[in-house]
Chain A
Amino acid sequence: MATTIQSPETESKKPRLDNGNSGGGGLRNLGPTNGSLKLLEDFSPEPSRTGVWVGLAAITMSFAAFTSALIVRQSTANDWHHLTIPSIVFFNTVVLLASSITLEIARRRVAEFARGRTANRSTPLAWLSATLLLGFVFVTGQYIAWQQLRAEGLYLASNPNSSFFYVLTAIHVLHVLGGLAGLMRVIYILRRPVLSLRRSTMDATSYYWHFMGVLWIYVLLVIWIKL
């Protein structure tokens, strides 16, 4: 074997085509009209689903970096004044978690609609709109939380804990706004007369949104816990 670079193929009838591990993509944007219809079998997993997982990995890493900065910062100096989390933040938490539930319902309704079990497009749309609304309530709530902190005289540079509070919540809100844009896109596509919503788009958006909820709980814990 040492002298063989590649073991020779033994199959003679048809060349070996390893489908098990292949992406089988390559023509993502291309409908089957240009090629053989058979190729549809090889349609790749939609990249948006992969993409969102990869993106979430990056976001996780960023927040891990913020966390380590917070831990180091909290333990190196004695100027840390633990702030009381504004009360509206807990309300916001409930709102964000509720939005995850409504989105999950919407996702299932979309699936039912797509499988033809129901012809009613407005049900999923209503749930999606509810999610969108809750999302905006959350963002507004966070804004009110900042106002409350400012009323207490706690600004970005007041002390390290308030710095981290503003930075972490603001970055989180930015990501939530990204999620809201995704939701709006899904709603827009769903309202089109010719349906072209891919399930992966719907899935990717909802994974991202659920992750925002999880991330928020994490952020809250990080800010709340005193080392």
Chain B
Amino acid sequence: MRTKLVFVALLAFMVSPALSFGAGTVSGKITYTGTPAKQKPIDMSKEPSCAKQHTTPVTTETVVTGANNTLANVVVYISAGAPDESSAPAQAVTFTQKGCQYIPHVLAMRTGQELKVVNADQTSHNIHPLAKVNREWNKSQPPGTPPLSEKFDKEEFVPVKCNVHPWMHGYFAVLKTSHYAISSDNGTFSLPKLPPGKYTITAWQEDYGTQTQDVTISGSETKNVDFTFKAKPY
């Protein structure tokens, strides 16, 4: 309880000066070229309680595309040059298992930030982050049990799987910075509140890997940075 209070106090202390600066923004769009792999329908017939929640067929989410070749679910973050933020936000991020799917499919969080895993289904799930840098864990969550609370201490893109439902896969993007965004359904993202400086922006897509671009912010301006990934048919 006390640590929580300290967190809140520290956060207030740090955020207030940042807000007072005239801060810049990096925004842009993620697109792809080529033909992405066809997303396959997921057969959930083995789990009727989930299958009946979906009226339209559910597909895999490794590559989520929007209109005009845009890509969703891409993590964009400042990999170098960001002001060093010493503590994680006090607010937890939530990872929900609903209809035997992970919501969101890609969840970004700060190192040390609390992660709450919620089981909203009528079946047992099992959350298994296949971490290599962080400590790997593997916990079951029967229906109706309280949310699990965990955190990761080191920067890593952690694949997450459910050991009970093989089709359930997602990612935890554990980042050292609070300046991150996940591209929306139409491929856009925005990294606001950047103090002036030189930054390296990295975009990460689970299937296509990473791309980086450098950008310099001077004052309260909005810089446009676009990323284009090369899609693979298989």
Do A and B have CB atoms closer than 8 angstroms in the complex? no
